[in-house]
Amino acid sequence: MVKVVHFSCLMVAVVFFGINLTEAKYIGGYYWSGASIVLKCDNLNASLLTHLYYAFVTANEDGSLTVQNAQKGYANDLLSLKSSNPDLKLLFSFVADNNGSFSKVVADKNLRKTFVDNALELVQQYQYDGIDFDWEFPQDKDKVNFTALLNETYTEFKKYNYQVTAAVRAIPVYKNSGYDIPEVVKYLDVINIMTYDYFGSWSNTTGQNSPLYPSSLDSAYEREYLNIEASIKNWVEAGAPKEKLAVGLPFYGRTFTLADPTNHGVHAPSLGGGSPLAPTYYQILKNYQNFTTEWNDEQKSPYKYSNTTWLAYENERSIAIKTRYAVENGMQGVFLWHLGCDDIYGEYSYEKQVLLHTINKVYRNK
Ligand SMILES: *[C@@H]1O[C@H](CO)[C@@H](O)[C@H](O)[C@H]1NC(C)=O
Ligand SMILES: *[C@@H]1O[C@H](CO)[C@@H](O)[C@H](O)[C@H]1NC(C)=O
Ligand SMILES: *[C@@H]1O[C@H](CO)[C@@H](O)[C@H](O)[C@H]1NC(C)=O
Ligand SMILES: *[C@@H]1O[C@H](CO)[C@@H](O)[C@H](O)[C@H]1NC(C)=O
Ligand SMILES: *[C@@H]1O[C@H](CO)[C@@H](O)[C@H](O)[C@H]1NC(C)=O
Ligand SMILES: *[C@@H]1O[C@H](CO)[C@@H](O)[C@H](O)[C@H]1NC(C)=O
Ligand SMILES: *[C@@H]1O[C@H](CO)[C@@H](O)[C@H](O)[C@H]1NC(C)=O
């Protein structure tokens, strides 16, 4: 009996004072230097982030590294943000071309060493705080040596107290995923699960870009893999500690072309993508004002449609719900792709960087 009383007191405390919520501390933002409109760092409120990822650095097949858009100086500019937020962690996010080049690096002990040495030098040269692996995607044959690379990177980087993180695929994680999950999680400080792109131009029906929960119209496969809740569950069941996992929030939408404009719900037949394929949140606020807007309460995301165009997206409400989900579930927190998609100047919102502020409000109102 006593135990039961204590237990419910604790639950009450959690509900009222949000004990769980104080645990979450992570808000990661990707800064994409290749975006058509690049966010100037003067317009970035650094106190709204804990981690900032410079995207991207290309990992070449000889183990050398190329900072994309280096000549534009963004990677240096970001360093100035530490004056307003000294705790901000700056990380370089690595991509590999999808041509098998990084598989070669990973499969060769000497190239791995070259890569790690170069990565360390890069971080030191720019006075950053670590690196992020955004390899889309390792395959089954890469699994053993990708683990080795992460081990070697982590071992070296921790000598300097640098961070090592990764952006990983959401679906599916079991088969041929390229990650030895129980092993790789040991070598990563944060695991950014890319919980978006569940449905898009490649889908034969409409669907949310980043649904929190399944739809009652989902197939068994969709229920099991194509929503945030399922991805978290799959990663945890495969051996990832929930407290290292971060939910990915897309600051962009996905368009579809309806087969029949009168059939415009979720799971309506789709003929492919619309144009543009992935409008930013800013473009959505600006260009889709005449569309009919619906709230998909089952999946906690909005969508819009007009004639044959259908748009899945996120807004303040859905971003707040998903942030709260991450925080209440004892996860590391959330990250977003990418900062430049937000309504940066607040042209269509009541404040600047409105989606990023929305995330922060959820953390603050704990
Ligand atoms: C950054 O955001 C914080 C939290 O909302 C706010 O207090 C601060 O004034 C903002 N800074 C700037 C320069 O806008
Ligand atoms: C694959 O991409 C990498 C990185 O851009 C490049 O260095 C390499 O030359 C490419 N390899 C092939 C075979 O195309
Ligand atoms: C893994 O790396 C080792 C050491 O470089 C190499 O001998 C081996 O062939 C690699 N394994 C695979 C599957 O690439
Ligand atoms: C990395 O791998 C080595 C060799 O398998 C192992 O001894 C070591 O414990 C691993 N490093 C960490 C940080 O776990
Ligand atoms: C739609 O795609 C799913 C999954 O790829 C497939 O199982 C289904 O048969 C397709 N439906 C139609 C109507 O083409
Ligand atoms: C909204 O619809 C009106 C009337 O059809 C049209 O003139 C206007 O350009 C549309 N605005 C947008 C942003 O599409
Ligand atoms: C709806 O879209 C179709 C196909 O693009 C087009 O032919 C038609 O004129 C559009 N109808 C309206 C009312 O805009």
Among all ligands shown, which has an atom nearest to the Cα of 59?
2
Tokens 């992020």 appear where?
A: 132
List the residue whose alpha carbon is closest to atom 12 of ligand 2: 99
Which class in CATH covers the domain with range 27-251+315-364?
A: alpha beta
Tokens of 69: 């858009």
Q: Which residues line ligand 7 (CB under 6 A)?
A: 307-308
Q: Answer yes or no: is pLDDT of 98 > 80.
A: no
Residue-wise pLDDT for 324-348, tens only, equals 999 999 999 999 999 999 999 999 9
What percentage of the chain reaches a pLDDT higher than 70? 92
Q: Which pLDDT score is estimated for 172? A: 64
Q: Which pLDDT score is estimated for 231? A: 96
All structural domains of the chain with their residue ranges: 27-251+315-364
- Is residue 364 very low, low, confident or very high in pLDDT (cuts 50, 70, 90)? confident
Among all ligands shown, which has an atom nearest to the Cα of 143?
3
Nearest to 48 by CA among 26, 77, 66: 26
List the residue whose alpha carbon is closest to atom 11 of ligand 4: 151
Residue-wise pLDDT for 22-58, tens only, equals 455 899 999 999 988 778 888 899 999 999 999 999 9
List the residue whose alpha carbon is closest to atom 13 of ligand 6: 287
Measure the CA–CA gap between 115 and 246, rounded to whole angstroms. Answer: 26
What percentage of the chain reaches a pLDDT higher than 90? 85
Q: Answer yes or no: is pLDDT of 15 > 50.
A: no
Residue-wise pLDDT for 264-307, tens only, equals 999 999 999 999 999 999 999 999 999 999 999 999 999 999 99
Q: Which residues line ligand 2 (CB under 6 A)?
A: 58, 60-61, 97, 99, 101
Give yes or no for a cis peptide into 137 (omega within 30° of 0). Answer: yes
Residue-wise pLDDT for 132-159, tens only, equals 999 988 989 999 999 999 999 999 999 9
Which residues face 26 on adjacent strands?
A: 333
Distance 123 CA to ligand 2 centre (A): 23
Tokens of 94: 């690595």
Q: Considering the chain, what is the average pLDDT of its residues?
A: 91
List the residue whose alpha carbon is closest to atom 2 of ligand 3: 107
Q: Is 186 in the pocket of ligand 4 (CB under 6 A)?
A: yes
Among all ligands shown, which has an atom nearest to the Cα of 99?
2
Q: Which residues are catalytic?
A: 136
Tokens of 11: 């639950």
Q: Which pLDDT score is estimated for 366? A: 61
